Structure 1
Amino acid sequence: MTAAVEVAAPVATPAETRPARWPAWALAAICVAAGALYVWQIGAGQVGNSYYAAAAKSMSTSFTNFLFGSFDPAGVVTVDKPPMALWPQAVSVWLFGFHGWAVLLPQVVEGVAAVFLLHRTVRRWADEKVALLAALIFTLTPITVAINRDNNPDTLLVLMLVAAAYAFTRSVQAAESRVRTKWLLWCAFFIGCGFLTKMLQAWIVVPGFALAYLVASNSPLKRRIADLAAAAGVLVVSSFWWVALHAFWPGSKPYIGGSADGGAWDLIIGYNGLGRVFGGSGNRGGGGERMIGQPPAGMEVSGPGGGAMFGGQAGATRMFDSAVGGQISWLLPLSLLVLVVMTAGGVLRRRAKVPGDAAERAGWFMWGSWLLVTMVVFSFAQGIFHPYYTTMLAPAVAAISAAGLVMFWRARSFVRFLLPVSVAVTAAWAFLVVSRDTSWHGWARWAVVVVAAVAVVVLLLGLRRAGLVAAVVAVLLVPAVWSTATAATASGNGVMPAAGPADGGGGMFFRDGQAPGRTPGQTPPNGRQAPDGQQAPDGTQQAPNGRANRGQQMGGPGFGGRELTDEQRKILDYAKKNSGGAGITLAVAGSAQMASPFIMGSDEVVIGMGGFSGSDNAPSVGQLQAWVSEGELKFVLGNAGGTGMRGPGGTDNGRQEWITQHCTAVDPALYDGSSTQTLLECKA
């Protein structure tokens, strides 16, 4: 029974009394491998998500922009997230200048740091072998590789939560009450930093951590309750100090993007908070990812939260469906099996009144609750959900599956047969996932069947060391292939980073599996496709099998690109030459993605009106009027016909009406332009 319910500590032998050097070398090799996967080709021209990349550049220009996470250099509106994840990127841009690799390098460092810290955490909870295996599994999780090569905030969120897990583990293992309290407060602080990275998503782990400390700490009950109360205070302060700072800032400050009133609290409760879970109208928590206007012709949109468009239908199977399964689900069946075995073993041990280790029990509570609660929230979320959110599951999957594999391998009773069962189940699931699109390394499905069969035979023959190695190779073969292939592709799809085939997890799809945007490598709006590798009627390039090129950024008039087009450069040059010294060279009507290339591709003061979707009340009509009257703004860029993209419900807070009344189109011949975008000159 003991082998079934405990992660046994390694048995020391005389040859093992001196610390071995191989674990340190093994950890170093894993960290180097992680760094190689994350850094591979990040300097090939991509900038990740252009929305965040533009913000990182703007934040490097002034302290206020840096502090609040301003999207534009004028400090008009922030990104629709807290700024902590962008702070390292902004510092890197300030030090090295604006380059794609300067934006993405902090993500690589944070990703490797998370691998290292996960190893240290699991080693304290279990032992060196489990810790090394957990670090390897974490490194080879496909979505983690994809997100750590991108500049979305999830990389730093995961690092902060792993740091919290480390502090929690130190807390429950401490012999002295004072030390236990200190580390628990550090745990709360790191979760608060996660809140300043991605708001309420970081708090998903809080109930499990609190319960684990309550049931497993060695402190008296009153002391445990007092410790949790103190930790709650630290959590609140470390989470909300930035919110309070913005609210009470005495000078000028940017409007909080994504909020209804310009404050951070509305963003926390609405768009980035409860709305993600329960959905809603107007995208104040719900709807598509701030779906702008009507979806393009042929786009599949279903469900109250638009979840089918971004991350599959909400429900119990979401983590395993075609949009999400290839990102994180590879070892989920194994992890769930391990948790079932541990739960059953714990019940049996409790009935038999067999004493257990409190710190070990706390670790199972922590990792198990992290995995299960996060899975439930993500699976049933009715609001916005992207497949790359699932990287938050990766540390728990790695810790649980690594502990389970080693536990099954060490077992002497019938439990040892669970290892070949685990290998068979994991290989079967990998076969099914790869079979969804065999054009993406389809050979791996047959390879995993062969390797798994060999591993099962070796294990049944009782060849223990060889069996463990074969089992690890079998369960990690396909994730390793997907992770390596993802890293080898210099993907510019920073908006929807994903591993695997372009139509198997990127997030926003047409019915034919193609992503919108009309950039090179993507299906034209009319849905026509050219033969493999040839140009479609409108000049867009098709990848093999008609699949959108993974290396292309979502772009075009609706989403913005990585670089200024020739026409955009001419527009900007004309506006600068004729602005009369205006403080704002150009204001772009529509979504922030349309303004991103102007901010990234020049040193001019360019703003995107309305924040991410174009619906934020920043700048307000009154602010526009004041700028134009004072000579601070002269030119506005809109789409053909003078209309900008609009946010949920078609609202732009009256800006378009004001532009129509006060601005007139500039003759494109004056800047050698076309009619795809309209430059407007405004007068009070």
Structure 2
Amino acid sequence: MSSLLHTSSEHATAASRPVPGRLRRLLRGRPAEPAWARPALLVLLAATAVLYLWDPAGRGWANSYYAGAVQSATRNGTAFFFGSVDAANFITVDKPPASLWLMALSGRIFGFSSWSMLLPQALAGVASVALLHAAVRRWHGPAAGLVAGAVLAVTPVAVLMFRYNNPDALLVLLLVLAAYATVRAVERGHVGWLLLAGTAIGAGFLTKMLQAFLVLPALAVAYLVAAPVPLRRRIGHLLAGGAAMLVAAGWWVAVVDLWPASHRPYVGGSEDNSVLGLTLGYNGFGRIFGGDGNTTAGTPGGGTGLPAGMQLPAGMDLPAGGMGGFGGATGIGRMFGDAVGGQVSWLLPAALITLVVGAWLTGRAPRTDRFRASLLLWGGWLLVTATVFSWMEGIFHEYYTVALAPAIGALVGIGGRELWVRREGIVARVGLAAAAAATGAWGYVLLDRTPDWHPELRVVLVAVTVVAVAGLLTPRRLALRLSVVGLVAALLTGLLGNAAYAVQTVSSVRTGPIPTAGPGGGPAGAAGGQAALAERLEQMFPGGRLPAGFPEPPGGAGGLPGAGGRVDPALASLLRGTTSTWAAAVVSTSEAAQLQLASGRPVMGLGGFTGSDPVPTLAAFQRRVADGDVRYLVAMGGPMSGMPGGGSVGGPMAASGPVAEITAWVSTHFPSSTVGGRTVYDLTKEKN
């Protein structure tokens, strides 16, 4: 009995003990911080998690091109390492596989599904918000960190991408990690943190190649200018960070390119079956200058924006803008244009204004001034990335701009806080008011682009903007409370349009290769990329129909991956019943991914991403058929399949190069039948 009483007494004592120190610090935060700071952060992160995780299964496979590669990676170790689209390892996706690795690991743990595939993307978003908050808070306080995190969390394109399976979610997380590590490195001139920053950028390269390097100038300049150590050490530290970056980025490239080509999948998107060729070509200079398989902002008589190897019929020119340019025409206005503006630019004017005003106020500050260091880091990130996006002539899609969201959030949070504490000065006070006014005016313009969608938001935005500007222009010594009201109204002005678009994005389904956020992204269930293509074709050709003689694009509608629509159950059943290495071959890996997701069987994607990769050759494909490795060839639908104006199912695609030779050979030598509305050639039976 005494032992029982003693045990009960111990339990009572343990229950009465205070919360352990670590948990208390997690919930309360640092002693020096305000009591509201840590609870507010936890609420922000919880709300972000709900926003990004809400109904993930309702999005289906999102981008089926990447979903097919994730499926393959969960089934085959070789496919996992190389990032193969198919589990039989014919060809890889046209990006390095880092983002696929995370989604595939989730699939192996929880079983492959839409939910398990999209879970790491959402968690990457929550982690990005937390890291951005931490990076901003260290130098500028919890309020600035919360604003920065909130702006990133509700930026429409961020909401879209952290709920999608494109590589951009992991890329943003790694870039924010690199920025956080740079902030820590600048504080004491610590090379260890620079090594972490370089490693994060290198991992970013393994996610989306050279785009990860766009933030390098900003990180390097911030450290070179502001680190509190001699110049010689700063340069040495940067070189060490660069070496860490090269190792983190280069190990996989070296392994793949040194691996015997006959014993690994073809590097999708490359012309020479090498990662280095892909890096410098299609995903490198081709993105900046066009060519190398990239579409361009073509003009009559100039570039057409068609995939490589395709030509217009004699005498035909496309209207200005060609088939490319879904992100709008190149130039300084691209980030504010109809295609991109609503995705990311709601607070871009405010970020630019605070950057300029902040630069003016810190013009004579000491070298190690942290406000100026922050402007160099986040402002450099924003300006370099936005400039490249604005003038790149190769493939550019609206969702790329998610890479701008952390910098915009940081500049708004940092600039707002620093100008607020300096508001007794006329420059800071006018700067704050100008930022609020510009945000309200630009938000009105963006909302007015969809005039039938909640028009009351424009009225509310105008009213809140007036209150914000009036309050912020009031000097603190006259009416502190009015100034605070103005500050709160300014925050509402900045977040109103963002949040409205974010909620609309979550409440409707986005699928397909080129998704867009907000009410302009198409109705629920519509693929954002298909809607964009349909709108472009409506502008170019009456009724959205391609004119007679126009070649059928190798990747389906407009050469877009994943634009083929759902796979008919009868066709999926036919492929599911095969036992060959590849159940079928089809032009483009995007179509192959859709077929294998529906059937669960590997499908060979002829010609890679757009059907224009020089693989396989006719002779190689003939050997595969002779050996019984490929059972069927499935012809793609018409160029407008799933688009306004319809489209019909035809024979093999009218493309050039090896793919054209293969499809011509198949249509000549093998019988066809129609299964599920698609033309299917049986490669085991030659025509009599």
Give the alignment's TM-score, normalised by structure 1. 0.83
1:439-588 equivalence runs, <5 A: 439-459=452-472, 460=474, 461-463=479-481, 464-502=483-521, 506=528, 513=535, 525-526=544-545, 559-560=562-563, 563-572=566-575, 576=578, 581-588=579-586
**1:65 and 1:185 mapped to 2: Cα distance?**
30
**Contact map agreement 2:513 2:561 (CA 8 A) in 1:** no
Question: CA distance change for structure 1 residues 645 and 157 in 2, over 3 Å: closer, same or farther?
Answer: farther
The letter of the residue matching 2:504 is A
Q: Provide the secondary structure at the position in 1 that maps to 2:174.
A: helix
**Deviation by residue 1:489-526 (Cα, 9 ceiling, x = unmatched):** 1222453233331369956667973689xxxxxx9854
**Cα distance in 2 for residues equivalent to 1:307 and 1:585:** 33
- In 2, Cα distance between equivalents of 1:307 and 1:606: 28
CA-CA distance at 1:211 after TM superposition: 1.7
Tell me the residue number matched to 2:67. 53
Q: Distance in 2 between matches of 1:448 and 1:258?
A: 45
Find the aligned partners of 1:94 and 1:44 in 2 and give their Cα distance: 21
**TM-superposed deviation, 1:625:** 2.2
Equivalent residues in 2 for 1:66-465 (5 A)? 66-174=80-188, 180-250=190-260, 252-280=263-291, 282-283=293-294, 288=305, 290=307, 302-303=320-321, 307-308=324-325, 310-347=326-363, 349=364, 355=366, 357-410=368-421, 411-414=423-426, 415-459=428-472, 460=474, 461-463=479-481, 464-465=483-484
The 3 A distance-change label for structure 1 pair 210 and 336 is same
**CA–CA separation in structure 1 for the residues paired with 2:621 and 2:131:** 49
| Equivalent pair of 2:203/2:248 in contact (CA under 8 Å) | yes
AA aligned opposite 1:586: A
| Distance (whole Å) between structure 2 residues aligned to residue 457 and residue 168 of structure 1 | 38
Q: What is the percentage of aligned positions where both structures have the same residue?
A: 38
Compute the displacement of 1:462 (Å).
3.8
Which residue identity does 1:481 align to in structure 2?
A
Amino acid at match of 1:57: Q
Q: 1:564 Cα shift? A: 2.7
State the Cα deviation string for residues 198-238 of structure 1 (Å, max 9, x = none).
00011011122212221212221111121122222222121
Partner of 2:592: 595
Q: Which residue of 1 aligns with 2:38?
A: 24
The Cα of 1:488 is off from its aligned counterpart by 1.3
CA contact under 8 A between 2:440 and 2:465: conserved in structure 1? yes
What letter is aligned with 2:583? T
Letter in 2 for 1:239: A
C-alpha distance 216-442 of structure 1, shift in aligned 2 (>3 A): same
How far the C-alpha of 1:114 sits from its partner, in A, is: 0.3
C-alpha deviation, 1:45, in angstroms? 4.7
Matches of 1:371 and 1:605 in 2, distance apart?
Answer: 42
SS of 2:62 mapped into structure 1: coil
Partner of 1:656: 663
Matched positions, count: 613
Counterpart-to-counterpart distance in 2, 1:512 and 1:168: 44
**Secondary structure of the equivalent of 2:635?**
strand
Which whole-Å CA distance do the structure 2 matches of 1:67 and 1:129 have between them? 42
Unaligned stretches of 5+ in structure 1?
1-15, 517-522, 528-552
Secondary structure at 1:642's aligned position in 2? coil
On the 8 A contact 2:161/2:399 being kept in 1, the answer is: yes
SS of corresponding position for 1:654: helix
Query: What residue in structure 1 maps to residue 651 of structure 2?
Result: 642
Tell me the SS of whatever aligns to 1:652: helix
> Residue 342 of structure 2: SS of its match in structure 1?
helix
SS in structure 2 of the partner of residue 613 of structure 1: coil
Residue 591 and residue 492 in structure 1: after superposition, are their counterparts in 2 closer, same or farther (change >3 A)?
same
* Contact 1:58 1:599 (8 Å CA) reproduced: no
For the residue of structure 2 that corresponds to 1:433, the secondary structure is helix
Map Cα deviations across residues 415-447 of structure 1 (whole Å, 9 max, x no partner): 223323221111011001111121233321111
Distance 2:277 2:263 in 1: 19
- Contact kept in structure 2, 1:591 and 1:645, CA below 8 Å: no
Q: 1:238 to 1:488 in 2, by over 3 A?
A: same
Code of the residue aligned with 2:51 in structure 1: it is: L
Task: Go from structure 1 to structure 2 and tell me whether the alpha carbon gap of 1:652 and 1:413 turns closer, same or farther (over 3 Å shift).
Answer: same
Q: Say whether the 8 Å CA contact 1:495–1:554 is kept in structure 2.
A: no
1:218 partner SS = coil
Match 2:53 to one of 30, 39, 53:
39
| Matched residue, 1:540 | none
Give the direction of change, closer, same or farther, for the CA distance of 1:188–1:281 in structure 2 (3 Å limit): closer
> Structure 1 CA distance, aligned partners of 2:506 and 2:557?
19
Counterpart Cα distance in 1 of 2:168 and 2:278: 18
What is the distance in 2 between the residues matched to 1:408 and 1:140? 23
After TM superposition, give the deviation of residue 677 of structure 1 in Å: 2.0
Structure 1 contact 71–77 (Cα < 8 Å) conserved: yes
How many angstroms apart in 2 are the aligned matches of 1:554 and 1:86? Answer: 25
Does structure 1 retain, via aligned residues, the 8 Å contact 2:567–2:595? yes
> Which one-letter code corresponds to 1:593 in the other structure?
S
Partner of 1:679: 681
Secondary structure in structure 1 of the residue aligned to 2:395: coil
Paired position in structure 1 for 2:27:
none
Contact 1:636 1:681 (C-alpha < 8 Å) held by counterparts = yes
**Residue 542 (structure 1) aligns with:** none
Q: 1:156 Cα deviation (Å)?
A: 0.6
Q: Deviations 1:150-207 (Å, cap 9, x if unpaired)?
A: 1111111100000000110110102xx5xx1111111111001111110001101112
- Evaluate the alpha carbon distance shift between residue 508 and residue 622 of structure 1 in structure 2; reply closer, same or farther with a 3 A threshold: same
Q: Distance in 1 between matches of 2:412 and 2:354?
A: 7
> Does structure 2 conserve the Cα–Cα contact (< 8 Å) formed by 1:138 and 1:395?
yes
Q: 1:18 to 1:641 in 2, by over 3 A?
A: closer
What SS is found at the alignment partner of 2:490?
A: helix
Letter in 1 for 2:535: G
Q: Is the Cα contact below 8 Å between 1:312 and 1:322 reproduced in 2? A: yes
Uncovered stretches (5+) of structure 2, i.e. residues with no partner: 1-29, 298-303, 547-555, 637-648
Checking the alignment, whether the CA contact within 8 Å between 1:208 and 1:366 is kept in structure 2 is yes
